[in-house]
Amino acid sequence: MTPEQQTRGRERELAELSTPVTHVVSPQRSVWDYSPAPETTKAAIADRYGLFINGDFVTPRSRKHFASINPATEETISEIAEANADDVDAAVKAAKAAAPRWAKIDPRERAKYIFRIARRIQERSRELAVLESTDGGKPIAESRDIDIPLAAQHFFYHAGWADKLRFAFAGAQPKPIGVCGQIIPWNFPLLMAAWKLAPALACGNTCVLKPAETTSLTALRLAEILQEIDLPPGVVNIITGAGATGAALVNHPHVRKIAFTGSTEVGKIIAKACASTDKRLTLELGGKSPNIIFDDASIDQAIEGIIQGIYFNQGHVCCAGSRLFVQESILDEVIAKLTHRMKALRVGDPLDKNTDIGAINSKAQLATIHRFLEAGSGEGAQLHEVNTSTLPNRGYWCRPCFFTNVQPSHTIAREEIFGPVLSVMSFRTPEEALLRANNTPYGLAAGVWSDKGSKIFDIARKLKAGVVWCNTYNRFDAASPFGGFKESGFGREGGLQGLKAYVEL
């Protein structure tokens, strides 16, 4: 094929992409569409939940509960206990009392408990997936295929380490730290609970876990699983509540280690609180991760990577590829193909198996996203709202969108949006891509797309990010450490490196 023919072919392809994605079927029914595919598994939800302390569900000393809202319907689905400082104290005391016995138990027995947690998560996986999607708004396909299997994987993986810790740290005698306070966010509720609990338990520590206010239900279901597998009382305690509950846990004098995942803002507050103590601390915070597409990349594959990078879980992902850098020579092609692909994304009912993008986790988060959309347009970027999915009448929804004409100084290029909003920028040379990608206070993750292995290794080495995905994005594995640089936090979770945070060497 001559270069002219190649160019004409490319132009034809781009012209085809700009036509609407509808297929005429019959005069009566003018477009192909997916029939609803509702999830049929039911997950029982109690009207009211207590706190899980010392192996039992107990009434909170605070006598307070708050509503848990289904973000897809705005209905109250349950009342969740709000732990005050006295409740936190009771949970920490239970964990402290359980610590000596749990630390001394034969590590092979400890492994069996953790293994049983993993097996029960697998056995109850569909129910957990329904619960996760109902409580948090994420599509059932994601909770079913990603969140819950990965949560089980983390327990399986760490069950394997429980009796091999002295091989993990050659020459050392690893010992448990004691009571670990663990605070998790709302974007991957059960998975984050697994990330925190599995290594802590494998290393012989006891835990007090605080889930996020808007997504407590799967952590409470996990508490039921812990009862089913006869985990000794007090080894894991789960206290629900808001920021004040988390703060009481951070400041409790008997807590030996804090593990926090959430916003950089709260991470800084926690770092200050721990600075004057001998508490160990790991922080997994925000990000504004670059996803870099070179002109020699497989474009169709990269488009899927862009979609997966930013629109997975409604963009509520700390490592979301929210800054897209495209080499200038392929910018038009990437934008045309991205637009075409985004038109096909289905936004709606999280419990429909065809849904790609579910509900925004809360009313507050939706308002935050809208503020960023206004800031983007107000500062001069061009908003592309190319997806036209019909949205349900109730619930919190945001169609996936992207901005072009984005300058590095724009708010949408600098701050974590935590929503389905992508900022597209271009670059000319690898050096420029690197410079711009690293120009951020964050350093959690990055993506590189190229057919050239040497280029990928060179760029990946120079990117200041805890995780760099090459020709893929948002891949997770329990054996692979995850964590950030700079304002994305410190410490690693997962893998051998993740164990280090939970042992005294």
Catalytic residues: 284, 318
Point out which span in 53-61, 120-128, 144-152, 238-246 binds ligand NDP (CB under 6 A).
238-246
Question: Shortest distance, CB of residue 368 to ligand NDP, whole angstroms?
Answer: 5
Report which residue's Cβ sits closest to ligand NDP: 246
- 489-490 vs 382-384, strand pairing mode: unpaired
CB of 199 to ligand NDP, least distance (A): 18
- CA 144 to chain CA centroid, nearest Å: 14
What tokens does 485 get? 């640089």
Q: Which is nearer to ligand NDP, 226 or 239 (CB)?
A: 239
Amino acid making up residue 395: G
- Cα dihedral 431, 436, 437, 443 sign: positive
Nearer to ligand NDP, 217 or 334 (CB): 217
Question: What does residue 79 show for φ and ψ, rounded to 5 degrees?
Answer: -110, 130
Question: How far is Cα 105 from Cα 429, in angstroms, rounded to an integer?
Answer: 57
Interface with ligand NDP, residue 474, by CB under 6 A: no
Nearest distance from residue 116's CB to ligand NDP, in Å? 27
Q: Whole-angstrom distance between the N-terminal and C-terminal Cα of the chain? A: 64
β-sheet bridge partners, residue 58: 51
Q: How far is the CB of 261 from ligand NDP (least distance, A)?
A: 5
Told to check if 266 binds ligand NDP by CB under 6 A, we report yes
- For ligand NDP, the closer of residues 356 and 416 by Cβ is 416
DSSP 26: -
Applying CB under 6 A, among 87, 213, 349, 493 the residue interacting with ligand NDP is 213
Q: Does 285 bind ligand NDP (CB under 6 A)?
A: yes
Which CB, 132 or 213, lies closer to ligand NDP? 213
Overall size of the chain counted in residues: 505
CB atoms within 10 A of CB 383: 16
The Cβ-side half-sphere exposure at 155, using a 13 Å CA radius, reads 26
When asked if residue 212 is in the footprint of ligand NDP (CB under 6 A), the reply is yes
Tokens, residue 283? 């922080």
The answer to whether 318 contacts ligand NDP (rule: CB under 6 A) is yes
Which residue among 105, 242, 383, 391 contacts ligand NDP (CB under 6 A)? 242
| Residue 247 touching ligand NDP (CB under 6 A) | yes
Would you count residue 135 as binding ligand NDP (CB under 6 A)? no
- Rounded to whole angstroms, how far apart are CA atoms 130 and 147? 11
Residues 356-395 that bind ligand NDP (CB under 6 A): 365, 368
CA-to-CA separations, 350 to 72, 134, 291, 375, in angstroms, rounded? 7, 7, 27, 28
> Do the Cβ atoms of 260 and 266 come closer than 8 Å?
yes
39 scored as a contact of ligand NDP (CB under 6 A)? no
Give me the least distance between CB of 143 and ligand NDP, in Å please.
17
Q: Does 190 bind ligand NDP (CB under 6 A)?
A: no
Summarize as ranges the residues that interact with ligand NDP (CB under 6 A). 183-187, 210, 212-213, 242-243, 246-247, 250, 261-263, 266, 269-270, 285-286, 318, 365, 368, 416, 418
